[in-house]
Structure 1
Amino acid sequence: MNTNAMPIPVEVPTLQLHGVHHTARPTWKLAETVHFYRDLLGLPLVHAISAKGWGPDDHADFLHFFFDSGSHSTIAFFYYLGTERPQWLEPREHYQQRATHTAWRVRDEQELLQWRRRVEAVGIPLRYQIRHEVIESIYFNDPNGYPIEITWQLRPFDPRDGTDAQRTLEAAIALEAAQNEGTRLASIEQVWRAKAEALGDPGASKRRASIYVLDVPEFSALVEAARGKSGYAVSQAHDGYVRIDGDPGISFQRKELGFKPAVWYGALTGGLLGRIERFDMDALVVAAEERA
């Protein structure tokens, strides 16, 4: 556990949120934004605020308007009258900027494909369709350059997911704290190693490569492939992981497993004991590494 976490006072009550009411962003394309969300996507315009600027002295008069995005949620925009978009808010084609996005949920794959057909039919350029670990999504941009995602969840999260998430973030936080002043955690391999070591698995050999695979459907092909490989051993570890041992190393081909890239590159999320010699779009090779 992370011993540096700030303690929570015992008198603080346990509370629960009940979903997202709205997300909000500025727009400098009023007509285009209304047309895109109301007319092209078909989201009802349900509320608008028109107000004098208040608060800071330089606050412009503004419109604040909301579109219904389902399940009591809305997506909202601010239109600041008489202003121009500052350069530092111009959209850029960079993965760090695209990390801020809106993702809407649909019920199943059929609905996702129906939305894809609608997006393409009304002339919105589709960027791509991707299956991640537990979701599959389509992506496109709105007139402001903001990324939009529509997704369906392939399976519900279960306690194994929560436990693994806790282990991942605790390992990353501890590694960040241990870095020298002015440096940052730069390799996910460090996190995978820390997670495996924290498991304290007595069955792991110091002379063989081992990977820990979360025992969930999206990674099952990896486990089944290991069962059929000579020199590999598969065993159930604790906390919802399967351990794969290679004698001495481990090697898999992505296409043989049928993994999409988003699943493939997260396949070692359970943990790693060994040294990664190759991990690219085609192959994963983990060599044994003598450990203390």
Structure 2
Amino acid sequence: MNVAAAHPVKLGGVHHAAYRCKDAKETVDWYARVLGMEYTSAFSEDHVPSTGEYDPYMHVFLDAGNGNILAFFELPNQKDMGRDENTPAWVQHLAFRVSSEEELLRAKDHIEGLGIDVLGPTHHGIFKSIYFFDPNGHRVELAADIGTDEQYSELKKVAMPMLEEWSATKKAPRHADWLHEIAREENAAKG
């Protein structure tokens, strides 16, 4: 069932995703140096436009490619930023696509060359990823799609049965175990 075709809301993509940062300039500089993102614009106000409350902020925007914008807020009058301690650090993250596995490995070399710890590549069956943290403590992922059209089609077919089984049992459904087998086979072939 194609819900989007009949839905009254017609989305045109993500306008921007916004996160908090400790220091706007440091964040802009880091994303430019580490990921090559262009700083495109900023808004700075003393009062929040949507609520009218006094809360000075700097809101910076970075081009993540392909029309995607990543934004950050520096909020100097708020308590120091933290993170949701009830959620593991690996859960909340920003994931960016790179064009190939080779590009992923080049990115890993570059990022490690800047003295940043990088985890991976991790094989997810249909994509491979590396992970690292920005200066604000946000986990960042770079991912390279490596799956076939048939694999993506199969995942789409099993998506609803997997969700329904998870909803009923809260245990990992086995509908896509073949993804893990792909990773195991590749790891075994590498020795």
TM > 0.5 fold call? yes
Residue 71 of structure 1 aligns with an amino acid whose one-letter code is: N
* Matches for 1:225-240 after TM superposition, within 5 Å: none
Superimposed CA distance per residue, residues 101-128 of structure 1 (whole angstroms, 9 cap, x where no aligned partner): 1110011111111211211222222133
Matched, 1:61 2:56: yes
Number of residue equivalences = 182
Task: Give me the TM-score of the superposition, normalised by structure 1.
Answer: 0.54
Q: Which one of 155, 162, 167 corresponds to residue 168 of structure 1?
A: 162
Query: In the alignment, which residue of structure 2 is the partner of 1:208?
Result: none
Q: Which one of 47, 50, 70 corresponds to residue 75 of structure 1?
A: 70
Cα 1:125–1:109 change in 2 (3 A) is same
CA contact (8 A) 1:49 1:64 kept: yes
CA contact (8 A) 2:24 2:60 kept: no
Query: Take 1:16 and 1:166, find their aligned partners in 2: how far apart are those partners?
Result: 22
Query: In the alignment, which residue of structure 1 is the partner of 2:146?
Result: 154
CA contact (8 A) 1:91 1:145 kept: no
Q: Which one of 20, 23, 47 corresponds to residue 29 of structure 1?
A: 23
Using CA pairs below 8 Å that are at least 6 residues apart, which structure has the higher relative contact order?
2
Query: Take 2:131 and 2:182, find their aligned partners in 1: how far apart are those partners?
Result: 27
Query: In the alignment, which residue of structure 2 is the partner of 1:234?
Result: none
Q: Which has the larger radius of gyration?
A: 1
Query: In the alignment, which residue of structure 2 is the partner of 1:125?
Result: 117
Query: In the alignment, which residue of structure 1 is the partner of 2:185?
Result: 258
CA contact (8 A) 1:24 1:75 kept: yes
* Higher fraction of helix: 2
Q: Which one of 24, 47, 64 corresponds to residue 41 of structure 2?
A: 47
Task: Give me the TM-score of the superposition, normalised by structure 2.
Answer: 0.78
Query: Take 1:219 and 1:114, find their aligned partners in 2: how far apart are those partners?
Result: 26
- Secondary structure of the corresponding residue to residue 22 of structure 2: coil
Query: Take 1:172 and 1:73, find their aligned partners in 2: how far apart are those partners?
Result: 31
CA contact (8 A) 1:68 1:74 kept: yes
Query: Take 1:12 and 1:59, find their aligned partners in 2: how far apart are those partners?
Result: 41
CA contact (8 A) 2:24 2:58 kept: no
What is the aligned-residue RMSD (CA, Å)?
A: 3.1
Matched, 1:85 2:77: no
Residue 134 of structure 1 aligns with an amino acid whose one-letter code is: I
Q: Which runs of structure 1 show a deviation greater than 3 angstroms over 4 or more consecutive aligned residues?
A: 11-19, 55-59, 218-221
Query: Take 2:129 and 2:101, find their aligned partners in 1: how far apart are those partners?
Result: 9
